[in-house]
Amino acid sequence: MSGNTLTHEATATVEQTGTTRDTAYAPGRAARELRLKRSEFDLAVHLGRIRTVPDEGGGGRRVLPGEIERIRAAEGFPQALRDSVRTVGTAEGASLMQVTRARFTRLARLGLLVPVRFYVNRYRAVVWLYPAEELRQFAADGRNAALLKGRTPEGLRDQLAEGLDLRPRNWRGRHLGFLLRQADDPWARAAAVASLLDPVEVSEIVRDPYELSHLNRFRPLSPAQGAPGSPAGHIAEEINTAADPDEIEWLRADLAGAVAAARRQRPAPRPDLHPVPLPPGPAPAPQGAQEPEEPGRLRGLLGRMRRKGP
């Protein structure tokens, strides 16, 4: 199921039930209700295990009571839910799949194992994390037996020797899916695609300055990895930005299509360049002219003159 479909279904649920921010759960409360740590809850949302809806008050995302009940009613709750969001690194992943670390790394570089998270350690090395459940499924699939034992096929070895590493690209693809599931506005969907492109690439596609400014309002934050401008921050920014020519090409095409769709549904706001005409009325008094007497004071003066007589 696509991210857009999930978003539309969740939005429809809000409309049908009349949910407000008072009846839906904030992330922290939802995590407690589901017996998850906050980090586990965030990853469950990222993987699509937990559906969220926009906060009507503009405060982020929330979880409907019905979604909490659906997850609680699932077989094996809560341990099955916790297991589905458990992540492992290279060493633990290799042990789980019963392969060497070197083979595990080769499989990941070839794009056969898709990371869901990463962080930059104190040695400025990128540590990739993978859903343990997906690794178990890969190892249990008989079609992958030849990849888990014996020599890596020659064609794949050649690609590895040339420096192939699809881990960053696969992470970006997975991250984009998450962003699209959270996007409730056509411009937010376009901004999700734009977030994986270099700003120069984005400005070449979105040439209208008002549309570009509006798009940037919806641009999601990159995953936090160190202070801005720090070595870790630079590494994270490189991972977050598409680098392969074919990846850049299809992201540019997707961005152009998403902006065109957003333009049709909800054009970007523009300043009103035409002055608002003033309503018709009496012409203003010339500057320096004496202000007329107030009506009350005039009536009083005339009355005194009448009483005095000729």
- pLDDT tens for 200-259 read 999 999 999 999 999 999 998 877 666 777 888 899 999 999 999 999 999 999 999 999
Mean pLDDT, to the nearest integer, of 71-92? 95
The CB density around residue 135, as the number of other CB atoms within 10 Å, is 23
pLDDT value at residue 184: 87
Alpha helices in the chain (DSSP H): 3-17, 27-33, 38-46, 65-72, 79-84, 90-97, 101-109, 132-140, 145-148, 154-161, 167-182, 186-194, 199-205, 209-217, 231-240, 245-265, 295-308
- pLDDT tens for 135-188 read 999 999 999 999 998 888 888 999 999 999 999 999 999 999 999 998 989 999
pLDDT value at residue 292: 47
Name the more confident of 75 and 152: 75
Distance of CA 194 to the CA centre of its chain: 11
Whether residue 287 has pLDDT greater than 90: no
Mean pLDDT, to the nearest integer, of 65-70? 96
The rounded mean pLDDT for the chain is 84
Whether residue 299 has pLDDT greater than 60: no
pLDDT value at residue 2: 41
Give the 3-state secondary structure of 13-53.
HHHHHCCCCCCCECHHHHHHHCCCCHHHHHHHHHCCCCCCE
Distance (Å, whole) CA 194 – CA 7: 19
- pLDDT tens for 89-142 read 999 999 999 999 999 999 999 999 999 999 999 899 999 999 999 999 999 999
pLDDT value at residue 164: 95
pLDDT value at residue 23: 83
pLDDT value at residue 233: 87
pLDDT value at residue 229: 77
pTM recorded for the entire structure: 0.77
Residue % of the chain over a pLDDT of 70? 79
pLDDT value at residue 25: 92
Place of tokens 């937010």: 188
Find the range with the poorest average confidence among 55-64, 91-100, 275-284.
275-284
- pLDDT tens for 261-271 read 999 999 999 88
pLDDT value at residue 165: 96
Mark 184-209 as b/e (b = at least 16 C-beta within 10 Å).
eebbbbbbbbbbbbeeebbeebbeee
pLDDT value at residue 11: 43
- pLDDT tens for 1-43 read 444 433 344 444 444 444 445 689 999 999 999 999 999 999 9
